[in-house]
């Protein structure tokens, strides 16, 4: 089961491909060596017979055929087993002297394969030449040194390529089985996670190699997915819980209307109440949807340059009536010419939520201020009040969906306002800081300088 | 007005169609994108009310197709897709207004009226006049019975919008969107405050009231009958 899988792995195929390539280059290398060696050995054999031939030609020239025959016979007596072999023929190819079978001369140098020569046999290098019209001298030398060399090279090539192939195959298997083991560990962990154990993580081997990096990324992805899933689970529980209250109220109103309403005016009033209740429920849904949409980050595509100063002035104008109604004093200190790359509607909604919170949760007679300042870290929008504030222990919780501080449970609101603020801030890479206003709450919205262009007008921008 | 309602949910479609008919409009309806496109190309309508999620050709593509065919019939998107970028993509595709479901019928009917009687080219109009109230868009000056009235910038924008839609009901949401450029509900009575401030400047001491409150719907600026 494992072997075919091993053979199918990409690393194994890669190793084989490399082995093939390597084998081809070895083949070419050996070919070149073979060719060069052959050339060299043939050259030295030719040189040996050439010098012998010249010597014998000299003997012939000085002493004629008789002297040559004598010379040949004496040489053959001295070294009967070679390596030199001779033949003297007449024009009709009749042997006069020597140990070679009669043959017809062709080219000057050529190879001759002799089969009957003792146990050895094998090929011979031959030189032919005419000494006179009737005297043809043939000098040969055993070429088995050359054959031995050929054999040696071929054997070396055989062993070499054999070992290479075995190494490549074995190495590929080893490498692939290592890779397979790692991948198997990852897919096993993935299967366990798929089966429902979301707390499970893929083991890291501390090798700090690409596998560990991959595993680290996968684990980080799993962390993110797990936290998102938990949020989703939490949110659906919260929705079920928090919608129960307004739905219960709606049901009570409808029931009361059915029991008590007599005149059409009473019916109308009851219906209006119910519509208001439904609208409140729909607003909760709307806020949840908006938060989800903003958190998914799709809204970031609509960023444009926003005149923050103008937006804040508008919002101050919009919230003034609320402060007035609540008997609160409301002041602003907005620097002119502040600009941001942002979504105007979302930023507006964010600051509106903070202002609304301040006004809703501060008692009558409180003071609320909307101000801005520019520092090296960016543009900061500050909403401060001297209302009840948020206790330190609650500050990290107030951004959670549906979270409401106990003492504000009676006040109207969905508990989604600050979650929306948080989501919008994150989309804009802004930070929301809750601080003490001694007494009261100070909300700082810090837009990093990165996203803010051309601060403070006055001198540079004269619009 | 002759209106085509493009909506696949039968109950919503009936609610819209019947309401508009009661308000005196001539209404046709279509339930799919393809049907809507054919009808809108064959007949001349004063307004299309388009749901974005309809079977066949979806709302956005329908409106793009109509605009590509040089049909400039005003389009009101009426949709459950209420995200900021949904609104932007709707208006980019060629929609003239965007109303998110669920909606109050008074809101829909006010917006229908505003779209239907929208002057095709506002650039040539310099002076808006209702009864004895005059607003000059170039000099940004306001007079009633010839007497100059001093308005804050926001009050001026509010009055200009009311006068551009004279005789029509204008809702609080429409005012927030067009006068304050806020596409969310700030839960304050800023509109009421400004309207009452405007009233005290424009109506007080000048005889017949021009700015009227329409209960449960909004405001209406109109000449006395």
Task: For chain A, say whether B207 makes contact (Cβ under 8 Å).
Answer: no
| A6 or B61, higher pLDDT | B61
Looking at residue A451, its pLDDT comes to 46
B14-39 pLDDT, tens digit per residue, is: 999 999 999 899 999 999 988 999 99
For residue A281, which phi and psi values (nearest 5 degrees)? -65, -45
A52-62 pLDDT, tens digit per residue, is: 888 888 888 88
DSSP state of B105: H
The domain ranges of chain B are: 2-116, 123-221
Looking at residue B172, its pLDDT comes to 93
Mutation site, A293, A328, A345, interface B, largest B CB count within 10 A: A345
* Bridge partners, residue B149, by sequence: B142
Q: What percentage of chain A has pLDDT greater than the value 70?
A: 89
* Bridge partners, residue B79, by sequence: B100
Q: What is the mean pLDDT of residues A148-152?
A: 83
Task: For chain B, say whether A322 makes contact (Cβ under 8 Å).
Answer: yes
Task: For chain A, say whether B92 makes contact (Cβ under 8 Å).
Answer: no
Could you tell me the pLDDT band of residue A119, with boundaries at 50, 70 and 90? very low
Sign of CA dihedral A226, A227, A229, A230: positive
Looking at residue A144, its pLDDT comes to 77
Looking at residue B134, its pLDDT comes to 92
For A122-126, A168-172, A300-304, B81-85, which range has the lowest pLDDT when averaged over its residues? A300-304
Inter-chain residue contact B187 with A356, CB threshold 8 Å: yes
Fold of B123-221: Arc Repressor Mutant, subunit A (1.10.10)
Whose structure tokens read 């980050």?
A: A297
Looking at residue B16, its pLDDT comes to 93
Looking at residue A460, its pLDDT comes to 40
Inter-chain residue contact B83 with A293, CB threshold 8 Å: yes
Q: Are B92 and B64 in contact (CB under 8 A)?
A: no
Looking at residue A462, its pLDDT comes to 36
B105–chain A nearest CA distance, Å: 12
Looking at residue A108, its pLDDT comes to 64
Inter-chain residue contact A348 with B188, CB threshold 8 Å: no
Looking at residue A452, its pLDDT comes to 46
A443 has a pLDDT exceeding 90: yes
**Block means of pLDDT (10 residues each) for chain B, length 225 residues?**
92 92 92 90 91 88 90 90 80 90 88 76 75 90 92 93 92 93 88 93 88 91 87
Contacts of A122 (CB under 8 A, 6+ apart): A113, A114, A142, A143, A144, A147
Could you tell me the pLDDT band of residue A459, with boundaries at 50, 70 and 90? very low
Q: What is the mean pLDDT of chain B?
A: 89
A461 has a pLDDT exceeding 50: no
Q: Which helix (H) or strand (E) holds B127?
A: strand B127-130
Looking at residue A456, its pLDDT comes to 42
A369 has a pLDDT exceeding 60: yes
- Separation CA A331–CA A371 (nearest Å): 8
Rounded to the nearest 10°, the torsion over CA B170, B173, B175, B180 is -170
| B127 or A18, higher pLDDT | B127
Question: What distance separates the 2 farthest-apart alpha carbons in chain A?
Answer: 159
- Separation CA A384–CA A357 (nearest Å): 11
Inter-chain residue contact A344 with B154, CB threshold 8 Å: no
Residue B200 vs residues A218, B142, B204: alpha-carbon distances, Å: 66, 14, 5
A297-324 pLDDT, tens digit per residue, is: 765 566 888 999 999 999 999 999 999 9
Mutation site, A288, A316, A321, A359, interface B, largest B CB count within 10 A: A321
How many Cβ atoms are within 10 Å of A85's Cβ, its own excluded?
Answer: 23
- Separation CA B178–CA B171 (nearest Å): 11
Domain B2-116, architecture per CATH = 3-Layer(aba) Sandwich (3.40)
Q: Are A358 and A426 in contact (CB under 8 A)?
A: no
Comparing CA positions, the residue from A348, A347, A332 lying closest to residue A447 is A347
Q: Among partner residues A298, A314, A356, which is closest to B180 by beta-carbon distance?
A: A314
Q: Are B63 and B40 in contact (CB under 8 A)?
A: no
Q: Which helix (H) or strand (E) holds B211?
A: strand B211-214
Q: Among partner residues B84, B180, B182, which is closest to A343 by beta-carbon distance?
A: B84
Could you tell me the pLDDT band of residue A38, with boundaries at 50, 70 and 90? confident
Residue B159 CA, chain-centre distance (Å), reads: 15
Q: What is the mean pLDDT of chain A?
A: 82
A185-235 pLDDT, tens digit per residue, is: 888 888 888 888 878 888 887 878 888 888 889 889 888 888 888 878 877
Comparing CA positions, the residue from A270, A216, A275 lying closest to residue A246 is A275
Q: Are A281 and A287 in contact (CB under 8 A)?
A: no
Looking at residue A118, its pLDDT comes to 44
Q: What is the mean pLDDT of residues A235-249?
A: 81
- Separation CA B21–CA B7 (nearest Å): 16
For residue B186, which phi and psi values (nearest 5 degrees)? -80, 5
Could you tell me the pLDDT band of residue A463, with boundaries at 50, 70 and 90? very low
Looking at residue A457, its pLDDT comes to 41
Could you tell me the pLDDT band of residue A366, with boundaries at 50, 70 and 90? very high
Domain B2-116 and domain B123-221 have a common topology: no
Q: Which helix (H) or strand (E) holds A161?
A: helix A144-194
ipTM of the complex: 0.81
All domains in chain A, ordered by first residue: 2-150 (3.30.450), 211-295 (1.10.287), 301-451 (3.30.565.10)
Joined together, the tokens standing for residue A426 give 């994150």
Q: At what angle do helices B59-68 and B33-42 cross, to 10 degrees?
A: 30
A68-85 pLDDT, tens digit per residue, is: 888 888 888 887 776 788
Looking at residue A128, its pLDDT comes to 81
A299–chain B nearest CA distance, Å: 6
């Amino acid at each position: 089961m494992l072997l075919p899988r091993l053979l199918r792995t990409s690393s194994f195929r890669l190793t084989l491909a490399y082995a093939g390539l390597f084998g081809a280059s070895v083949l070419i290398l050996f070919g070149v060596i073979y060719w060069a060696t052959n050339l060299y050995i043939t050259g030295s054999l030719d040189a040996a017979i050439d010098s012998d031939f010249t010597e014998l030609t000299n003997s012939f020239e000085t002493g004629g055929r008789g002297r040559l025959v004598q010379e040949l016979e004496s040489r053959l007596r001295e070294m009967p087993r070679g390596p030199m072999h001779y033949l003297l023929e007449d024009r009709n190819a009749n042997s006069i002297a020597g140990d070679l079978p009669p043959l017809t001369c062709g080219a000057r140098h050529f190879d001759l394969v002799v089969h009957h020569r003792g146990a050895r046999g094998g090929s011979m290098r031959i030189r032919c030449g005419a000494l006179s019209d009737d005297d043809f001298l043939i000098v040969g030398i055993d070429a088995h040194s050359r054959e031995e060399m050929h054999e040696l090279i071929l054997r070396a090539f055989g062993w070499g390529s054999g070992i290479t192939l075995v190494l490549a195959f074995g190495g590929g298997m080893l490498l692939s089985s290592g890779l397979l083991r790692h991948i198997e560990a990852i897919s096993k962990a993935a299967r366990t996670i798929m089966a429902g154990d979301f707390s499970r993580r893929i083991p890291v081997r501390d090798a700090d190699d690409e596998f560990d990096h991959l595993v680290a990324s996968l684990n980080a992805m799993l962390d993110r997915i797990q936290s998102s899933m938990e949020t989703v689970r939490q949110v659906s529980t919260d929705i079920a819980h928090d919608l129960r209250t307004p739905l219960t109220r709606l049901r009570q109103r409808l029931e009361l209307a059915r029991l008590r309403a007599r005149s059409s005016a009473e019916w109308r009033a009851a219906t209006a109440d119910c519509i208001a209740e439904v609208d409140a429920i729909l607003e909760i849904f709307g806020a949840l949807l908006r938060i989800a949409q903003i958190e998914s980050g799709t809204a970031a595509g609509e960023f444009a340059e926003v005149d923050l100063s103008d937006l804040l002035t508008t919002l101050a104008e919009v919230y003034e009536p609320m402060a007035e109604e609540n008997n609160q004093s409301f002041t602003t200190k907005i620097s002119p010419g502040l600009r941001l790359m942002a979504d105007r509607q979302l930023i507006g909604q964010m600051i509106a939520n903070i202002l609304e919170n301040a006004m809703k949760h501060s008692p009558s007679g409180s003071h609320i201020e909307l101000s801005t300042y520019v520092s090296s870290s960016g543009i900061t929008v500050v909403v401060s009040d001297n209302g009840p504030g948020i206790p330190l222990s609650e500050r990290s919780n107030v951004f959670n969906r549906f979270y409401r501080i106990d003492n504000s449970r009676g006040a109207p609101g969905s508990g989604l306002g600050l979650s929306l603020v948080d989501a919008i801030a994150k989309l804009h890479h802004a930070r929301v800081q809750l601080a003490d206003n001694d007494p009261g709450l100070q909300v700082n919205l810090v837009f990093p300088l990165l996203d803010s262009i051309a601060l403070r007008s006055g001198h540079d921008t004269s619009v | 007005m002759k209106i085509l309602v493009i909506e696949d949910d039968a109950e919503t479609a009936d609610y819209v169609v019947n309401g508009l008919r009661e308000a005196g409009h001539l209404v046709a309806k279509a339930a799919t994108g393809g049907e809507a496109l054919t009808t809108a190309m064959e007949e001349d309508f004063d307004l299309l009310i388009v749901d974005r999620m309809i079977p066949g050709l979806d709302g956005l593509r329908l409106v793009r197709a109509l605009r590509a065919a040089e049909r400039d019939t005003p389009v009101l998107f009426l949709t459950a897709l209420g995200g900021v970028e949904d609104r932007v993509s709707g208006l980019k595709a060629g929609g003239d207004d965007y109303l998110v479901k669920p909606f109050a019928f008074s809101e829909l009917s006010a917006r229908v009226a505003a779209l239907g009687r929208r002057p095709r080219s506002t650039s040539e109009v310099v002076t808006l006049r209702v009864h004895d109230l005059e607003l000059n868009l170039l000099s940004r000056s306001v007079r009633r019975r010839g007497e100059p009235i001093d308005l804050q910038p926001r009050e001026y924008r509010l009055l200009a919008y009311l006068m551009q839609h004279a005789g029509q009901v204008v809702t609080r949401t429409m005012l927030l969107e067009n006068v304050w450029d806020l596409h969310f509900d700030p839960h304050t009575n800023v509109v009421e405050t400004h309207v009452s401030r405007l009233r005290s400047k424009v109506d007080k001491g000048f005889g017949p009231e021009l700015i009227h409150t329409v209960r449960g719907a909004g405001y209406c600026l109109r000449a006395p009958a």
